[in-house]
Amino acid sequence: MNVITIIPPLVQLNAPYPSGAYLTSFFKKEGHDAQWADLSIELFYEIFSRSGLEKLFSLSEKTALSMADKAEKNGDDNTAFNIRRYISQKENWIEWIDFITAVLSGGGAREKEHQFLYSPFAPRGQRMENFLEQLAQDGREPSVDDVRFLCSYALADLADYITAVFDKEFSLIRYAEALTVDERTFAEVEKGLDSPILEHFYKTVLERWGTTVIGGLDPAIFSKTLICISIPFAGTFIPALYTARFLKSQYGQKFFICIGGGFVNTELRELRDASLGKYIDAISYDRGYGSYKALFDNTVLESVETAAESMIANPLYKLRIFKNGKVIEPVWQDEKLEKYETEITAQIIPDYSDIDFSRYLRMCDDKNAMHRIWTDGSWIKAYLAHGCYWHRCAFCDTQLDYVCAYRPVEVRNLYEGLLKTAREKNVYGIHFVDEAMPPVALKKFALENARHGNPLYFWGNIRFEKAFTKDLAAFLSYCGLGGVSAGLEVAAESGLENINKGTDISSIVSACAALKEAGVLVHAYMIFGFWYDTTQTIIDSMETLRQFYSAGLLDSCFWHKFVLTKNSTVYTEWKEGKQKKLQPIELKSDKKGGLFARNNIHFKGENQYDKFQLPLENSLNCWMHGDGLEKKVQKWFDFPVPPPTVGRDFIEKKIEEYEEKNRKRGAGLNDKTAQNLWWLGGTPVLCGLSNSSASEYRWLYLMEEQSVPSKLIDIDILLALRPEVTEEVRVAALNTITASPSVISNLKKLLGRGLVLLDF
């Protein structure tokens, strides 16, 4: 069977979303002819190209000038000037756009960068000018090293123009997100289908793609073609629907069209509007492997009509069917298919063979190193485990498969597959998109990387917990780990208990300190506005976060406002009468068709802390760039707030506890734990005459010089403990160590100085 997976616009511009890679790998493993297409990057280039901007300005110029006149009439001279500037410079934008995208995708002409930076005839927008003005305020002239920043802001300026005068729903990484995240009916969502960007640009993408890809298929097997449209975010739903409508209009019922993905799994689990059948044939839930396996096993799909009729009579696992005005509910549990999903999840290696990574953009929109890592690189996305190994946080969707169904992968198999992809695509960065990378699996992956010569650089989401010791952090950094993100959520012990985070401030501080000492970038997610929050708890959390930054424990953060979801632990506990402070407001729509997205639930008092959003974000933005760290947190607000109850040295004391614990690490080394010894230091260099009692070995570890008397070191043993050494050589060295108490005694003196002792 032919299977085509489509990623609709718009998602991140620097890398393809991984669902297409995983589904394509799965379909091929099942013996089908599978491929996938990232239509998000295709739409980007359809707009942001010479021909695209020519079309854009042709379609929008009249409206733009009318809006400028209106703004000027209303006294808004700045808006009038900026809109007219786009039209006045349209030839410049058209001339330079291909250069701009080439620079951001790793190409372009270096010599032209000087011209783009200094020429008064190069295009300029408000964001570009703000960037250049900030450089001047910082006391330096712009240089060609700033051009990638300038090009990134150029795209943002063009996006602002599109949103202002052509399509108000447009955004560079999401489209019409607001239309699908509130309490609308499906009929209301449908109204967004005929928007300007979709009609004038995305339709052209679909027509060209259809001619190239679908036109290349044998017409005789159209009836055996499955189209999977992945919808990871709310902002991709309307383009996905537009895609389905286009395919139905062009090819009738020759395709079986199915949607799935993150947004579907969380928000559309109860979507039963039969009118959706105008666009699609089915919704696949959760990983999709089980539902598609059921589809293949139970219907031969000799024709789409036969398949649909068969499924009406025989409902399938996690597949909701739309046919002839009817909605057929899925079977939610199937022991055989659940076992199959567990097995296949462990084996699948994402397949990026259809993707040209050279087309993706490395955007630079912030000087913060950790913020940059998200967009400044064409990462190969994968996961070390499906689901979360903790899956108990009160605010999380712990009832859903993507959280509660923890399934680890076969690490060596995954590593070899990703390395093969990296070499084929010339992309050596891996972004693990796990809910939380399991420490054991992460260590295994890191060791594989070291033993292959450390070709890969990787990062991803973790849990801040005690497993991430000083020694493990150093080991992971040595083997290629470059950054982590994790949910801190609440920087207070009581708050961590309220949300059942499963960790404490001491463990979080230790993990952050260990990772930062090892040169790993650290990002934290923060949440405010919980059901139990008070002004005091938010201020205390803010003060603790300030201390994290003051101590150099974090590189970046995001503040998010708490959203109550139907599939969260706290909502389940409320239904059981356990969460007395939570007061959900059960919404009931009086509109025909009911509520569209039903996972988010309002609760009493949820808006009382909205006014905290801006001060929290402003202070955080300063802290991330090293500013305002000594300013009292209550001074960031323009309304009265109480001072924090957290001591100004709270985090400093936690760091002292961490350092004291590390000073005692030698006590844990014995002939049993020696199996977890690793040498991460440089090669010891002999200083002085080898037969002199004053001779010593010196080496670097974590950028600091270390030294010991030469008689304490057996270099061969140390070098045999390096992660890149083969297992056979390592085992021989460990046998020597465990057989000699004196060797163990000497090695204790090297702990924390290049020698590390892991807990597992």
**Would you list the DSSP string of 588-655?**
---STT--S--SEEEETTTTTTGGGHHHHHHHHHHHHTT-STTS-GGGG-SS--PPPSS-TTHHHHHH
161 and 276 belong to one structural domain? no
520 and 642 belong to one structural domain? yes
**Pairwise CA distance, residues 458 & 756, whole Å:** 21
pLDDT of residue 759: 94
Tell whether 352 is covered by a domain: no
**Pairwise CA distance, residues 72 & 69, whole Å:** 5
Sign of torsion over alpha carbons 144, 149, 152, 158: negative
From 600, 619, 448, select the one nearest 538 (Cα to Cα).
Answer: 619
pLDDT of residue 65: 98
The total of structural domains in the chain comes to 4
Tell whether 524 is covered by a domain: yes
Tell whether 630 is covered by a domain: yes
**Pairwise CA distance, residues 350 & 655, whole Å:** 40
Do the beta carbons of residue 217 and residue 189 sit within 8 Å? no
pTM of the model: 0.95
In 428-580, alpha helices (H): 439-451, 470-478, 493-498, 505-517, 535-550, 569-575
363 and 232 belong to one structural domain? no
Note the Cα 447 to chain centre separation in Å. Answer: 24
Tell whether 170 is covered by a domain: no
85 and 211 belong to one structural domain? no
Tell whether 640 is covered by a domain: yes
For 341-380, the pLDDT digits (tens) are: 999 999 999 999 999 999 999 999 888 999 999 999 899 9
Length of the chain: 760
439 and 562 belong to one structural domain? yes
pLDDT of residue 224: 80
290 and 276 belong to one structural domain? yes
Tell whether 353 is covered by a domain: no
Do the beta carbons of residue 379 and residue 372 sit within 8 Å? no
From 318, 316, 322, select the one nearest 248 (Cα to Cα).
Answer: 322
Single out the residue in 613, 639, 658 at which a domain terminates: 658
134 and 270 belong to one structural domain? no
Please, what is the Cα angle at 539 between 534 and 540, to 5 degrees?
A: 100
Q: Is 78 exposed, middle or buried (0-12, 13-18, 19+ CB in 10 A)?
A: exposed
479 and 572 belong to one structural domain? yes
Domain range for 548 is: 358-658
pLDDT of residue 308: 58
Single out the residue in 637, 658, 679 at which a domain terminates: 658
649 and 668 belong to one structural domain? no
654 and 671 belong to one structural domain? no
507 and 620 belong to one structural domain? yes
397 and 408 belong to one structural domain? yes
Tell whether 171 is covered by a domain: no
Single out the residue in 347, 381, 397 at which a domain terminates: 347
Sites in the chain below the pLDDT cut of 70: 174-184, 219-223, 299-313, 587-597, 689-693
